Structure 1
């Protein structure tokens, strides 16, 4: 049922003009007592609406798999399963984006996770505020880029037109190259010569990696890795000599990495050498941890299991095991990386923590960066899928905090 929204305008003004948070001063895992948000949307339409359904593709339809070091051919079946769930997650977030108008649950979710400000006169996004309109457009742009890629239309502004991006499934794909000792290799994996004996034409000097990447090497955490799959280099800035360290210096084990090959940029410095780097599109490297993650985020066995009657979160129950970050499936790592893969070099990982993401959504100074944060989309898509796919006898759960609320009465 639709209700008149005009009567809710005073509540809207309170929220928009004060940049109030959906959480007030409560923990991100508990929004009890947030009367302003309750008033803001209590009379808007509540039905979940119909979700879109897209026929999933196979991994090899969208990516190049390599059989060499760190290749993914042995993981193809697992990757296909992940990709199937990626389509489900993305269909859910597309449904949420397309149906915010007058839908209370979607309005609450966009407000909570992205800080989208609402206009209760129109029953949707407040587009009169240019920053809020830009925020909404930015969200739509990221979603549409992933949509384009999943449809098989490739990347926006690819480095190599017509070539699918690569997937790697282990750190062996990239061989560490010390700056001082390593000689630069070209697109044919041949060492780059800078000087030759004038009589014999035999090489006497070679281009060193630290010279070719003179600016990069100034960063003490920068390391270069040679990828034989495309005869080019990746740069990494975590101070590690492997792409998937078992005991990283910062204590954070890597699940995956999306990179644009450094050699796909114009040559930085050639030292008069005549050569070209191997070129390739962006690629994703899944670390071993992504296939067998510990308990926590990105570790739920599957979306299918999550919406089974025995496993579906109990709306209104504060169970740590049913917090949204604990419901994210293993496949969500792939979904997260797609936002890096399809971006314009603007999806820095601002935050992974559920609490931090909700906090960033409420702040005017952090909200814009949050709209480029892949984990925000991954959490939202998981929440949207759970909301849309409640078992027949279960109350749909609405994640407008870390714990599931009742979609029919989220402030009960």
Structure 2
């Protein structure tokens, strides 16, 4: 290069644009990726050159221009991530075909995290670095918790962060079990991010969801869930409108459409349960809601909503009723007025059935305890999941 009196730029341009086979072969080898190597610089040779360029001690004035050179590439990567996110069918919900089962499947943020990580790795990495990098106070507590660092100009001290302490889990009005991340069922994130009062993973997930929802309204999985949560929690329409404009959730009208669709599917499930022949019971509940108007007029006065709610609950593992059972039950109509105290006294048959049930229950507890000894203890949840003894049905002769 010195002998030919050419600049480095001219030499680099010639190396990567020449058509000479011998030079092209070596440049192709230089641009190749070798996965069997141990480090990135040996796997991909341009990474070595790029890291040398980023040496701030040797080339301090060039760092600004090197970073500016990487910005267009970052824009392309972000656009590719965005295209994959808004095109994914896993992040879209169609209200016309939504069912309660589908809605339950959506209520698993871990699934959304895995999907977003796979579709937008570059954006996720940028936001993860942005939100999880320790600030000065966390670095200070990690290195030296006893000796405070002197505050410097332009950077907040540890005491300044304490003045701005804002932990959403310290609310006294929050129910017990929700007041601290450690008490929550999914508190594993606090071990990965010590010192954080908020889960950075959820913040990143919500951020990408807001950006995707602002670009494409059909990418509405998380906004739909949050909109339903805000609405059933009593959030006012103005607040929901503000959050919807920010891309956090869907609009109030969409939430109402979702509630109508869920109601239709619930009615369908209730009809299927009733028509299936399975034993069930119904619960009726009267709901009286007072609608108070702050400024009453003749056409806008206080009002009441009087509604009746019905729930149909199936009873599994119970023998179905027959026509004989129905005839026996119908024959008892009007007999309550003739009932006596002796009608409810236990009979020898009742005593035998209770004895069998007691023996079956003890046997079940012994078997469950033996199976749970390897796990260390038996809990009420495992007891319930294992099932209950078979029920005994008998017909009263009186």
Q: TM-score range by the shorter chain?
A: under 0.3
Comparing both structures, which one devotes a greater share of its residues to helix? 2
The structure with the larger Rg is 2
TM-score (norm 1): 0.21
TM-score (norm 2): 0.22
Q: Which has the higher contact order (CA 8 A, sep 6+)?
A: 1
